[in-house]
Amino acid sequence: MSSIERVNNYGNSGHALWEPGIHNVSSFTTSGSGTGAVFAIEVGDGGIMENISVTTKGSGYARNDTITVVGSQIGSGGESLTFNISEVS
């Protein structure tokens, strides 16, 4: 178990209540035991999720851990965003 390098398998591609811009998210749940990661979630016009970057890799994560970010972290509500950790180092 290590630091996050990449993520994939986005479980939701957007929601009308997600606000355009880059949202730095450090509050989320994980299916594993990792801590300390921060993600930059980029949302485009119409609430479409365009990209997720790992800005702080954290520690204790494993490949295929699922990350869940509640909609209020990337806008004024809406569905949660889920994605998987695809690569650790």
Half-sphere exposure of 19 (CA within 13 A, CB side): 10
Amino acid at 57: K
Residue pointed to by tokens 């994939």? 8
Output the pTM of the full model: 0.93
Q: What share of the chain is helix, strand, coil (3-state, %, to 5)?
A: 5, 55, 35
Question: Over the stretch 32-84, which tens digit does the pLDDT of each residue have?
Answer: 999 999 999 999 999 999 999 999 999 999 999 999 999 999 998 889 999 99
Q: Could you tell me whether strands 21-25 and 4-8 are parallel, antiparallel, or unpaired per DSSP bridges?
A: unpaired
Question: Is 29's pLDDT higher than 90?
Answer: yes
pLDDT band (50, 70, 90) for residue 13 = confident
Q: For residues 67 and 30, is the Cβ–Cβ distance under 8 A?
A: yes
